[in-house]
Structure 1
Amino acid sequence: MLGKVLPPFLFAATAVLIANRLHSLGFVDFRLEYIEQTLTENLPAGLKPYFSAIYGEVLPWLGYSSCGWDRAKSFTIISSRVVTPGGTSSAAVEVQDGIISSVQQIPPSVVGNADKQKQLFGSVLVLDFGDAVVAPGLIDVHTHLNEPGREDWEGFRSGTSAAAAGGVTLVVDMPLNSFPATTSSVELQKKKRSAAGKTYTNVAFWGGLVPDNARDAEALRSMVAGGVVGFKAFLSPSGINDFPNSSVADIAAALPTLRELDVPLMVHAELVDHTPPPGGDAASYATYLGSRQPAWEENAIAALIGALSSEELGRPPAPAAGSAGGGFGLHIAHLSSARCLPMIQEAKARGLPVTVETCPHYLNFAAEDVARGDTRFKCAPPIRTASNREELWGAVAGGDVDIVSTDHSPAPPHMKRMEDGDFMAAWGGISGLQYALPATWHGMRQRGMKPSDLARLWSTNPAKLLGISGVTGELSPGRRADITVWHPDRLADTSRAALRHKHKLTPYEDMELYGRVAATFVNGRLVFDEKRGLYPTACGDLSLRGNSSS
């Protein structure tokens, strides 16, 4: 065995060392992926399996990353628009071993000038992104990847590859629509095993809060011990039989345990007060919209705030102004009705730990524009009127909406019922994970908002919600090098050919959306590059609560 293994090990090590030396002398533009491709193409077939296994071990031994384009473990990113907590300016972000080691302002003249870069940074690899925005990686706190059990709907590989191409560096997977749902530590372990080695981005998990475990403190504790970042509950039927909706009483019973565990509870906030009568024109979007009134959201949020205000739970201190919370709190998922905003604002003013998200589809689309039978637009809560959309935009711009998330909820095309256009029977979910950045930025750009606003909604506040703001979510020393580089004034590629979702049915297809992703770094690894595409090996990790290094 040693006789077979040693030659390719020495071959790989020698090739990397020679190439590195030539690069340091200025003779070659060093790209490890080219060496890897050349070697694997020219090695004898019998040695290729040994080489592939060993190559990943050789690189770290020689000081290189084992995954991603541009394998240097130490490098510097520069741009004239780097978004940091202190503002947006020309800056250099230095990365070592997957961690941001420093962020320093630089003269604008350094950008685009190789001689000045060599004077300033020496032999360190410099990635010059010109006037592209360099910002913290996007964190999508609300996605359905559907694995294990429903990989024909999406899956970790396809979902996270789309996320990486869209500038998302951390995806937080919902406890449904995988099968079985993640409502116990046993099912959590199955999901973790299923995800291992398949994710192009980092992935975290929500646990499911259902009637069977809402009063079982040990069950909730065991899921937190297993790594969930918090819990998700439904007040209305979820559409999935093994994930029943909870009552307000169930949630009230769970809150003391969640407060003890210091984790957030995300809730699908609709309270069904009647069953819509049969009949009506099922192909008309107005029929579906009328079946889910804004009062369902209003009543649910009022009840949840009431439970949070209960005397036995007490009142935690108010979060800092503009904060998205962190630790224990109530998080309202996918707010659709702007009529709910005043009560949420009032709860925050009282010091209650309440946060709220909305989604790009509520910010881009309007009920008046949904064509007859176009069930791509069906979701719950529903897309409402154009005037409601503008009220939501006002709350986003004013800071009353804390987070934007995709609520990526794909399903096989036949479940969307496009063939008969039946809104009442179609699956309620919109596929939008790859379009997270442009589907948010396009409207922000039209309204005069800034890249720093997008970072607040998609990076900083999501990290606070998940309790990982010391790990990721901003470009600061000591944070994980989760970085998204994007062009604010270039159009994203929304063609079907560029889409990496498992299924291509989405209302965003061929939309004109500004905000084109140039590069995505996950843990300091360049996993997506607009010229080279997605790195073929999954470089992401599981980001589990209590394990800040992953």
Structure 2
Amino acid sequence: MRKIFSSQCWIEGKLQPATISIENGLIASVELGQTAGAEIVEGILMPGAIDAHVHVNEPGRTEWEGFFTATQAAAAGGITTIVDMPLNASPVTTTLAAFKEKQAATEGKLHVNCGFYAGLIPGNSGDLPALMDAGVLGVKCFLVHSGIDEFPNVEEKDLSEAMPLIAKYKLPLLAHCEVSDGFVSKEFLENPTSYQAYLSSRPQKWEVDAVDLVIGLSKKHECAVHVVHVSAADAIHNIAVAKSEGYPVTAETCPHYIYFNAEAIPDGQTLYKCAPPIREKANNLLLKKALKMGILDFVASDHSPAPPSIKAIDTGNLLKAWGGIAGLQFLLPASWTSLKGMMTVEEFIPLIVDHPAKFLKIDNRKGKIAVGYDADLIIWKPEETFEVKPKAILHKHQPSPYTGNELFGKVSETIVNGTTVYKDGAIVGNSGKMVFSKGSKL
């Protein structure tokens, strides 16, 4: 048994002095105050962050990122559970056979816990019940081309076919909300290294129209809908209205949408390319306010890495570069650095712990310091700063837009299922497990 005391433990929604005992991978006791024989730690002792939006890419594209490297990076960033998206692996996770292949690919590689989503593509609605029986935590779809030809976008008829099935399982449909007009501007074609031209090529209206579509279908089919990576502040109002009317609509944004801004992104810097794009500072301030108000429910990394060779780093061609931000390791510090000026630590922690756990319906065993819960814990120092250096980045590939930035919030230790996995800058363990939904029948 290990006993840990911190003067700042995240218990019942507030920071307070407490001693936590860990035994057999679980929290065995929680005692307010300091007890005899407890190890004293400096910093906040809290549940590990939960990243509900990660692209791991294994099997099939492990040269982009794999479970071994992704979960190491997660542990270094204070994340104890990730959820893997269905589209960047090959085969894509749209059948039960593909899901089993992905599960097999995790063997011996999980430094943190990992859950999974199924994918919805045209024509695979019949595969969804088996995937949901197998324990996926939700179903992901795109309303615009995903970038992966094996994972085509759906249309309204596909959604109307699938959503009643998903609703029966009480799982969320996660939607990449952009609806393309199919038009690439002459400006962007002629100036492919211009960030402003790229930004103009994916206007806010794409997001707003898509959000309105899925909200309307959510109302019609009584299916929970989750809007991933909200970047357009123009979409916030309709999300807020749907929630106020009691519809099962949730939404997330990402650290890169609140940490970076379009005005400061130089031309030809493809590491900043993602979809939807990083928008202007005034827009991104509204995203922060929506997080504080509870309109946006939590922050997720949308870690979408790729080899430098397809990021077009050498040419700076934003038209050809693969879109995606490598940011898994920086979910916690980049989000906190962005938000610390407008919210307290107590207001911030739920955005990366409590709220994603509730959304994933794993809050009966994760995301809380309470007896019987999984001992997924971190020791975090919110006022301690560090510079992001390439040699400390544990993603498969080091290039990241966060490199060289000074961030607040250093993680000194990450404990997964009772075992220390990361401590003082080094990976020291490997104890992650697969995470399945409550309704899993396999």
Q: TM-score, normalised by structure 2?
A: 0.96
Find the structure with the greater CA-based Rg: 1
Larger % of strand: which? 2
CA contact (8 A) 1:81 1:91 kept: yes
Runs of 4+ in 1 over 4 A off after TM superposition: none
> Distance in 2 between the 1:86 and 1:381 partners?
33
CA contact (8 A) 1:141 1:405 kept: yes
The structural deviation recorded for 1:89 is: 1.1
CA contact (8 A) 1:189 1:226 kept: no
* Residue in structure 2 matched with residue 545 of structure 1 by the alignment: 437
* Residue in structure 2 matched with residue 274 of structure 1 by the alignment: 182
CA contact (8 A) 2:133 2:439 kept: no
* Residue in structure 2 matched with residue 220 of structure 1 by the alignment: 128
Helix, strand or coil for the counterpart of 2:237?
helix
Counterparts in 2 of 1:286 and 1:424: CA distance versus 1, 3 Å:
same
1:395-423 Cα offsets, whole Å, 9 max, x none, are 11222110100000000001111111111
The residue type equivalent to 2:173 in the other structure is L
Which segment drifts farther, 475-484 or 285-294? Answer: 475-484
Counterpart pick for 1:173 among 64, 84, 100: 84
The structural deviation recorded for 1:545 is: 2.2
Helix, strand or coil for the counterpart of 2:212?
helix
> Distance in 1 between the 2:265 and 2:316 partners?
12
CA contact (8 A) 1:438 1:516 kept: yes
> Distance in 1 between the 2:108 and 2:346 partners?
33
The structural deviation recorded for 1:169 is: 0.3
* Residue in structure 2 matched with residue 284 of structure 1 by the alignment: 194
* Residue in structure 2 matched with residue 318 of structure 1 by the alignment: none
The structural deviation recorded for 1:424 is: 1.1
Matched, 1:129 2:41: yes
* Residue in structure 2 matched with residue 207 of structure 1 by the alignment: 118
The structural deviation recorded for 1:103 is: 2.0
CA contact (8 A) 2:142 2:154 kept: yes
The structural deviation recorded for 1:167 is: 0.4
CA contact (8 A) 2:169 2:439 kept: no
The residue type equivalent to 1:384 in the other structure is R
Matched, 1:470 2:364: yes
1:48-59 aligned within 5 A: none
CA contact (8 A) 2:52 2:300 kept: yes
* Residue in structure 2 matched with residue 516 of structure 1 by the alignment: 410
> Distance in 2 between the 1:86 and 1:392 partners?
23
1:100-499 aligned within 5 A: 100-106=27-33, 110=34, 120-122=35-37, 126-130=38-42, 132-214=43-125, 216=126, 219-278=127-186, 279-310=189-220, 313-314=221-222, 329-447=224-342, 449-499=343-393
Which segment drifts farther, 268-277 or 176-185? Answer: 268-277
Helix, strand or coil for the counterpart of 2:230?
coil
Helix, strand or coil for the counterpart of 2:75?
helix
> Distance in 2 between the 1:308 and 1:454 partners?
29
The residue type equivalent to 1:538 in the other structure is N
Q: CA RMSD in A?
A: 1.4
> Distance in 1 between the 2:25 and 2:348 partners?
23
The structural deviation recorded for 1:207 is: 0.5
What percent identity do the matched residue pairs reach? 39
The residue type equivalent to 1:506 in the other structure is S
CA contact (8 A) 2:13 2:346 kept: no
Helix, strand or coil for the counterpart of 2:216?
helix
In structure 1, runs of 5+ residues without a counterpart are: 1-73, 111-119, 315-327
Residue-pair matches, total: 438
The residue type equivalent to 1:296 in the other structure is W
The structural deviation recorded for 1:127 is: 2.9
Which segment drifts farther, 517-526 or 539-548? Answer: 539-548
> Distance in 2 between the 1:484 and 1:493 partners?
20
CA contact (8 A) 2:193 2:316 kept: yes
> Distance in 2 between the 1:355 and 1:85 partners?
23
Counterpart pick for 2:427 among 534, 544, 547: 534
1:189-237 Cα offsets, whole Å, 9 max, x none, are 00000012111001111110111213x2xx2111112221111000000
* Residue in structure 2 matched with residue 504 of structure 1 by the alignment: 398
> Distance in 2 between the 1:521 and 1:299 partners?
42
* Residue in structure 1 matched with residue 24 of structure 2 by the alignment: 97
> Distance in 1 between the 2:133 and 2:119 partners?
14
The residue type equivalent to 2:423 in the other structure is D
More relative contact order in 1 or in 2 (CA 8 Å, sep 6+)?
2
The residue type equivalent to 1:243 in the other structure is F
In structure 2, runs of 5+ residues without a counterpart are: none
CA contact (8 A) 1:527 1:534 kept: yes
Larger % of helix: which? 1
The structural deviation recorded for 1:86 is: 4.0
> Distance in 2 between the 1:333 and 1:127 partners?
40
